[in-house]
Structure 1
Amino acid sequence: MFIETETTPNPASLKFLPGQQVMPSGTREFASPEAAEISPLAQAIFDTGEVVLVFFGGDFISVTAAPGADWSALKPQVVSILLDHFVSEAPLFVGGDASGISVPADDADMVVEDDPEDAEIVAQINELLETRVRPAVAGDGGDIAYRGFKDGVVYLTLQGACSGCPSSTATLKHGIEGLLKHYVPEVVEVRAA
């Protein structure tokens, strides 16, 4: 087995491609060792002591190193952990539950309640996010979570390598906001949630 790595726009993150499916559906982000306890793979990556975020995508894993961590030493450790995991065909989650969620349950308070009258607008927004934005963000080692639409404002959260990226504000404001405003005139702004 060979695991490819790719740089991401976030200099603290690397994208690891095992050449096979990681998540059967959805994505999963682990922002702490405690959150990673449900995944032996994420926990092993955190156990290196130099990682602050692990993100599982459909066919990749993004790892964000702690400030001051040296990727030249950390990268071989992560590759070794990933090789051990995938070669042994170990379960991704404790109990083998591989269900993915884009919006972690502990972030539920960050969701803006959609007005039922905006259902058509929300459907258009989600269609654009799914077909145009999500593939591009996944290419950079991350994902995007829809958090709500209210008074013309779309609330989104960047995840994975994109969550701490220096260009995340530009991605939201210039890229995603411009796209949504163009196709959905009711959108006046995009904000990070």
Structure 2
Amino acid sequence: MFIQTEPTPNPNVLKFLPGREVAAAPREFLNAGEAAASPLAEALFGLEDVAGVFFGADYVSVTRRADGRDWAQMKAPILAAVMDHFVSGAPLMRDEAAEAGDAGDDSDIVAEIKQLLDSRVRPAVAQDGGDILFDGFDETTGVLTLRMRGACAGCPSSSATLKAGVEQMMKHYIPEVTSVEQVI
């Protein structure tokens, strides 16, 4: 198995591409307690200076501690953990019960927002090792709130991505959106 690595715009996040499907739905782990749900995430949090793990469709993003070791020291143990997991054939998640979606009760505007996020925004940010999720939309003020995960969370350019990219696109296609804000 050959695993490629790719830098992301966030210098504290590195993308690992095992050349196969990783997750059917994106998952993020921000600490070792959350990582207990996944054998791979748990193994990665067992390594020194790992601060976060994100599973995308075909990649694993690992966040290092800002004050930790550099990637040259961390890359080999991470590659070994990812390879060991996929070679073993173990499931990605210990409990494969998927989180239930919230599709049925959406207004037409919220459905449009989610469709635009899924078709245009999420594929673009996935290339950088992250994800953007719908959090909420206030129909009276027009404020759309989004949650950034993976390499996008804490990235120096995330504010520019939200304001210059996502907000402008949303305002163009969905005039009811007046502003886009990040939920932390």
The residue aligned with 1:188 is: 178
- In structure 1, list runs of 5 or more residues that go unmatched: 104-115
The residue aligned with 1:15 is: 15
Q: How large is the RMSD of aligned CA atoms in angstroms?
A: 1.8
The residue aligned with 2:39 is: 40
Moved runs in structure 1, 4+ residues, more than 2 A? 98-103
The TM-score, its normalising length taken from structure 1, stands at 0.88
The TM-score, its normalising length taken from structure 2, stands at 0.92
The residue aligned with 1:82 is: 82
The residue aligned with 2:54 is: 55
Q: Is the 1:26–1:102 contact (alpha carbons within 8 Å) kept by the matching residues of 2? A: no
Identity of aligned residues (%): 52
Please state if 1:119 is matched with 2:118: no
Q: Is the 1:26–1:101 contact (alpha carbons within 8 Å) kept by the matching residues of 2? A: no
> In 2 relative to 1, CA 98–64 (structure 1 residues): closer, same or farther, beyond 3 Å?
farther
Instruction: Give 1 or 2: higher helix fraction.
Output: 1
Q: Structure 2 CA distance, aligned partners of 1:5 and 1:101?
A: 31
What aligned pairs does 1:21-36 form with structure 2 within 5 A after superposition?
21-23=21-23, 25-36=24-35
Deviation at 1:99, TM superposition (A): 3.1
Q: Is the 1:15–1:62 contact (alpha carbons within 8 Å) kept by the matching residues of 2? A: yes
Deviation at 1:64, TM superposition (A): 0.5
Q: Structure 2 CA distance, aligned partners of 1:102 and 1:70?
A: 38
> In 2 relative to 1, CA 56–155 (structure 1 residues): closer, same or farther, beyond 3 Å?
same
- In structure 2, list runs of 5 or more residues that go unmatched: none
Residues 85-139 of structure 1: per-residue CA shift (max 9 Å, x gap): 11111111224x1736799xxxxxxxxxxxx7x8111111111101100000100
Residues 16-57 of structure 1: per-residue CA shift (max 9 Å, x gap): 10001111x211000001110111110111111211110001
Q: Structure 2 CA distance, aligned partners of 1:120 and 1:101?
A: 20
> In 2 relative to 1, CA 61–138 (structure 1 residues): closer, same or farther, beyond 3 Å?
same
Q: Structure 2 CA distance, aligned partners of 1:58 and 1:101?
A: 18
> In 2 relative to 1, CA 48–26 (structure 1 residues): closer, same or farther, beyond 3 Å?
same
SS at structure 1 position matched to 2:107: helix
State the aligned residue count: 178
What aligned pairs does 1:139-150 form with structure 2 within 5 A after superposition?
139-150=127-138
Q: Is the 1:152–1:188 contact (alpha carbons within 8 Å) kept by the matching residues of 2? A: yes
> In 2 relative to 1, CA 83–98 (structure 1 residues): closer, same or farther, beyond 3 Å?
farther
